[in-house]
């Protein structure tokens, strides 16, 4: 395998990771707080800075990762994370790429322009319900029009409607995602978390929809990845981990990519399919 790409990684500032509950309260981000520091139960959120990320990439043989924004409830928070990411991709352009975070129901034009000018390559992770807008709103249509000529990708958070309740769970408009993709056939959309495996449930999806494997060990057996490859084709699945999330919470003590690679190798993918999922698909859509 010449290169390995992780298309779904998050990093947070030292202030966020040091005191997530207090930070979230100060910045009015209750959904993030519920996800990363659920009251009364152990969090599965791991924490890492850029040095830890690069070290863990090297330990697992990961060549490139894509830093995704979070579905923040405030545009000011999106901007904070965007500034962090801009610094990191400037320092490590050969290893790191970044997607911009925005909240479409607030003024976003200048922020998107700033992110484009500072080397970002996509938008997301977007979660309309959590961020207080609808895909048919004029604000979101303005986003699509603005980036349609930039060759940017869009990553959309997916909540499986059949999944168990968990802290911070907010449903996502899955059928609206497919409808939107059909109306914007030249735009590539990436549905996170294998897109709730909807193609395995008989849902037809547009050819411009891709699926990443982020947090799949928490949601599905490894064979679900093989099922999705068989359903939508080997060209439309991207490997992703949701690092530094603990995707193996019973055994994992610190963030790592290694366990997720072992999980993928248990999925039943043939060698040529593994090459597509780990390398070729990402290189193609990121033009690397």
Residues written for the chain: 288
Report the chain's C-alpha Rg in angstroms: 17
Any idea what DSSP says for residue 73? S
Confidence band, pLDDT 50/70/90 cuts, at residue 1: low
Closest to 285 measured CA to CA, from 242, 239, 244, 243? 239
For residue 286, count other CB atoms closer than 10 A to its CB: 16
User: pTM of the entire structure?
Assistant: 0.96
Q: Is the pLDDT of residue 288 over 80?
A: no
Q: d(Cα 222, Cα 50) in Å, to the nearest integer?
A: 29
Instruction: Give the Å distances, CA to CA, from 229 to 9, 22, 272.
Output: 21, 42, 12
Rounded CA-CA distance 61/204 in Å is 35
Closest by alpha carbon to 24, among 99, 59, 74?
Answer: 74
pLDDT at 167 over 80: no
**Is it the case that residue 188 has pLDDT exceeding 70?**
yes
> Residue 237 is part of which domain span?
5-285
d(CA 187, CA 40): 42
**CATH code of the domain covering residue 152:** 3.20.20.140
Residue range 27-49, pLDDT digits in tens? 999 999 999 999 988 999 999 99
Cis preceding linkage at 90, omega within 30: no
Domains held by the chain: number = 1
Alpha-carbon gap, residue 254 to 246, rounded angstroms: 7
Query: For the segment 204-231, what is each residue's pLDDT rounded down to a tens digit?
Result: 789 999 999 999 999 999 999 999 999 9
3-state secondary structure of 99: strand
Per cent of the chain over pLDDT 90 is 89
Average pLDDT of the residues of the chain: 95
171 pLDDT higher than 90: no
pLDDT band for position 65 (cuts 50, 70, 90): very high
pLDDT bin (cut points 50, 70, 90) of residue 181 is very high
CB 138 within 8 A of CB 164: no
User: Taking 80 as the threshold, does the pLDDT of residue 2 lie above it?
Assistant: no
């Amino acid at each position: 395998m010449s290169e390995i790409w992780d298309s779904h990684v998050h990093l947070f500032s030292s202030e966020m990771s040091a005191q997530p509950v207090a930070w979230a309260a100060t910045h009015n981000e209750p959904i993030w707080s519920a996800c990363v520091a659920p009251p009364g139960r152990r969090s599965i959120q791991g924490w890492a800075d850029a040095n830890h990320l690069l070290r863990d990439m090297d330990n697992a043989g990961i060549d490139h990762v894509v830093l995704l924004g979070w579905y923040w409830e405030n545009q000011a928070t999106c901007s904070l994370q965007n500034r962090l990411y801009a610094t990191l991709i400037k320092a490590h352009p050969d290893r790191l790429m970044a997607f911009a975070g925005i909240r479409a129901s607030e003024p976003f034009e200048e922020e998107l322009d700033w992110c484009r000018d500072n080397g970002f390559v996509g938008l997301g992770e977007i979660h309309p319900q959590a961020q207080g807008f609808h895909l048919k709103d004029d604000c979101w249509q303005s986003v699509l029009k603005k980036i349609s000529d930039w060759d940017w990708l869009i990553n959309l958070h997916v909540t499986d409607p059949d999944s168990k309740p968990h802290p911070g769970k907010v449903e996502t408009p899955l059928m609206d995602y497919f409808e939107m993709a059909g109306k914007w056939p030249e735009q590539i959309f990436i549905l996170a978390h294998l897109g709730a495996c909807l193609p395995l449930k008989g849902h037809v999806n547009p050819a411009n929809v891709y699926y990443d494997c982020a947090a799949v060990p928490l949601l599905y057996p490894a064979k679900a990845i093989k099922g999705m490859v068989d359903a939508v084709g080997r060209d439309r699945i991207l490997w992703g981990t949701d690092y530094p999330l603990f995707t193996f919470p019973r055994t994992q003590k610190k963030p790592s990519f290694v366990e997720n690679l072992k999980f993928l190798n248990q999925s039943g993918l043939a060698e040529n399919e593994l090459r597509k999922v780990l390398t070729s698909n990402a290189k193609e859509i990121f033009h690397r």
